[in-house]
Amino acid sequence: MSVRSRFWLLAAVRWLPTGLIVPVMALLPLERGLSVAELGGVLAVQGVVVLLLELPTGGFADTLGRRPVWIASAVVASVAYGLYSVAQTPVVFAAAVALTGVFRALDSGPLNAWFVDAVGEQVPEPARSAEVARGLAGYAAVVGLSIAVGALLSAGLVAWAPFGRAEALAVPHRVACALAVVQVVAAWVLMDEDRSARVGGVVRSVRATPRAIADGARLLLRSRVLRALVAVEVLWGFGLVAFESMTPVRLEEMLGDGDLAATVMGPASAGAWAVSAVGAAAVPWLLRRWSLVAVSVALKVVQALTVVAMGVAAGPVGLVAGLLATYAVHSAAGAVYETLLHQQARPENRATVLSLASMAMHPGAAVGAVVLGAVATSASPGAAIVVGGLVLGAAAPLFLVTPTRGGGRPAGAAPPMLGRDGGTSVARDGVEARHD
């Protein structure tokens, strides 16, 4: 089995549990007595935890290895899903979300870094970036399909309610708990890794991690481009809350019933992620015609407009239509963004660079959860979605940031987001060469 095929299979195993919990994650705490504002505070815990752990875990993946860190993330995910399913109070829900933050910090770099490193070892330099873009676009499509399947299963489980209606919304989390164990086995079998170049050993890796973190921080300070990409993630994280967490809340407001909203959200989420997979699959076609930067700006503007449309929709049909339109560009935007991000990294700091971006996204989401939760409580969920869409759109101009002069390359020799920036070397290969 090729590296790309294993990458996509591991992605499917990883994201199927997420599909199960997406339709019910916001509804379960509300059914158990939390207010929308309390829900926002609970969800914000994840961002705080990720902020604290993202760089250490990314550095750990760079020093110890991709596979052991990714396996650890699955173990923590299983515990987090199980605790969330039995939580009854804001404190316990917050503890479960904190564990989710731990697993997201562990998870946010190792698998993709493993794939990109393998491409670097097996694919000639002129074709590497094109191969990475294809792999990441396919990854985004697989993620979309996996979440779609999981969302359909979630709706079926809620409708079936094998443990009674009172526990219907908790069943998807319990199934996700078991599937996270499957991820551990799959990673052990499929995710081979040459760790001879790593530091070796847990103790030595822990000691080497601060240096990896410092290297990532220095890279961020030197590179205008990387700082702009990280800022994109802050705004993106804020906007994600609008259509990921506020959509079920607004749907419940429209329908007047939490279980009915969960049943509708299952197929709606499945359709949204299926459309998202199609959008992601179109990325190579888009990049044959336009530059990475042009595609990034266009997709971000379109997504912002679709989120605002969700906020002003007058009924459930309009809300779901807006959700489908939003997700049509969601994974495509993510795949193009990550291609840009990988071009700012090297093998020895790749997971750390990915963690820098994720570290920015999760606090952005934490602020978004608190702010949009307050807006939803004081005004309406629709108003909160509109605010999130406007913030999301503010990220588009950041893709136009250009590298600093004096990095060993004449001004204008590389398009925005590519080339050398502040002395940081970036491989010039297939995708970049097509758009010079």
CB 150 within 8 A of CB 277: no
C-alpha torsion sign, points 202, 358, 230, 344: positive
* Percentage of the residues of the chain whose pLDDT score is greater than 90: 35
Most confident option among 54-63, 116-125, 303-312: 303-312
Q: Tell me the pLDDT band of 432, cut-offs 50, 70 and 90.
A: very low
Q: Tell me the pLDDT band of 167, cut-offs 50, 70 and 90.
A: confident
CA angle 150/152/157 to nearest 5° reads 90
Which domains, from first to last, does the chain contain? 3-187+209-434 (1.20.1250.20)
10 has a pLDDT exceeding 50: yes
Amino acid 155: pLDDT:
85
Mean local confidence (pLDDT), 332-343: 84
Q: What are phi and psi of 268, to 5 degrees?
A: -65, -45
Per-residue pLDDT reduced to its tens digit, 73-114: 999 999 999 999 999 999 999 999 999 999 988 987 789 888
Give the closest residue to 370 by CA, choosing from 48, 141, 88.
Answer: 48
Mean local confidence (pLDDT), 120-149: 80
| Residue 421 one-letter amino acid | D
Residues near 176 by beta carbon (within 8 Å), at least 6 away in sequence: 17, 18, 20, 21, 77, 81, 150
Q: Tell me the pLDDT band of 186, cut-offs 50, 70 and 90.
A: very high
The four Cα atoms 2, 274, 278, 11 give a dihedral, to 10 degrees, of -20
Give the closest residue to 212 by CA, choosing from 60, 335, 66, 334.
Answer: 60
367 has a pLDDT exceeding 50: yes
| Residue 168 one-letter amino acid | A
Amino acid 248: pLDDT:
87
Amino acid 206: pLDDT:
62
47 has a pLDDT exceeding 50: yes
408 has a pLDDT exceeding 50: no
Per-residue pLDDT reduced to its tens digit, 269-298: 888 888 988 888 888 888 888 888 899 999
Q: What separation, in Å, do the N-terminal and C-terminal C-alpha atoms of the chain show?
A: 34
Q: Tell me the pLDDT band of 205, cut-offs 50, 70 and 90.
A: low
- Which tokens is 317 given? 């049909």
| Residue 70 one-letter amino acid | W
Amino acid 208: pLDDT:
60
- Which tokens is 369 given? 């959860």
Give the closest residue to 3 by CA, choosing from 80, 66, 63.
Answer: 66
| Alpha-carbon separation of residue 165 from 64, 128, 134, 219, 348 (angstroms) | 45, 52, 44, 52, 50
Collapsing DSSP to helix, strand or coil, 122 comes out as helix
The rounded mean pLDDT for the chain is: 82
- Which tokens is 239 given? 């906007």
The C-alpha atoms of residue 332 and residue 237 are separated, in whole angstroms, by: 16
pTM above 0.75, yes or no: no
| Residue 248 one-letter amino acid | P
